[in-house]
Amino acid sequence: MTLYNPFRFVCFCLLLTVIFSSNVRANAPALNYYQLKIYHYKNAAQETRIEQYLQQAYVPAIHRAGIKNVGVFKPVTQQDTDRKIYVFTPFSSLDKLAGIEQRLQADTKYQADGKDYIDADYKNSPYSRIETIVLQAFPGMPSTAIPDLTAAKADRVYELRSYESATEKYNINKVRMFNTGDEIGLFKRLGFNAVFYSEVIAGSHMPNLMYMTTFNNKADRDKHWDAFGNDAQWKALTANEEYKNNVSHADIIFLHPAEYSDF
């Protein structure tokens, strides 16, 4: 007769837990990585050169590299002294993101189509500076989505938000609020048409997260946010002591997509 062995039973339970956890991780979708490039420029001539490069060289080359969708956006209101173009490129892995420049260098059509930009003289640069942000998708939305909008692209409003936190711990807490707290689910239920949710893993405003929601127009945007602020789920989340003080600064940027943007 075999006697009950508590230690052996505990070990068996731990083994089952490890196996179950490993299977869950194996079956979970891989999290995408995103590159957000911000071109800073000063005048219309630079803007034309950047856009010609993006439309005729970069976006087609990224498509040839197997990435179906690239986002190109401009602020609804540009600053006079620091104008910007935002380029959002999703990657299925960090290796693919890290290797994209090498792949572009090996693409002869890209080199030919982008020659004016690529071979620009140092006295006549097509931009003032490029800012690059690297992001990792949230588990609650592991890859991008194409917005379900009906308005013409010129009328659409894309809202890019960056939430900074006082410390890394508070940032982890805000990320958890989106995923475990189901803030992502709230946005989805209310029809915010998100393109992505992500944590910044390399950038100039860390620790922070970024996400993008989309609307047919400004009035549509305001209507959605009014519903959000009055929603019972949101009120419960903000009243939860677990999620207090996890955002120290928020930047809200209104964008509209270029006609050749895939998003």
Report yes or no on 72 lying in a domain. Answer: yes
CA-angle at 261, arms to 61 and 255, nearest 5°: 135
pLDDT, tens digit, 9 for 90 and up, residues 217-237:
999 999 999 999 999 999 999
Domain count, the chain: 1
Answer whether residue 104 shows pLDDT above 80. yes
Q: What is the CATH number of the domain that holds 108?
A: 3.30.70.100
Report yes or no on 263 lying in a domain. Answer: no
- Quick one: pLDDT at residue 27? 63
Cα separation of 260 and 154, whole Å? 11
Long-range CB contacts (< 8 A, 24+ apart) of 103-112?
Answer: 103/65, 104/58, 104/61, 104/65, 107/61, 107/64, 107/65, 109/60, 109/61, 109/64, 110/57, 110/58, 110/60, 110/61, 110/64
Report yes or no on 11 lying in a domain. Answer: no
pLDDT, tens digit, 9 for 90 and up, residues 109-129:
999 999 999 999 999 999 999
Report yes or no on 174 lying in a domain. Answer: yes
Cα separation of 29 and 95, whole Å? 17
User: What is the domain extent for residue 117?
Assistant: 33-257
Report yes or no on 14 lying in a domain. Answer: no
Report yes or no on 8 lying in a domain. Answer: no
pLDDT, tens digit, 9 for 90 and up, residues 126-166:
999 999 999 999 999 999 999 999 999 999 999 999 999 99
Mean pLDDT along residues 76-96: 95
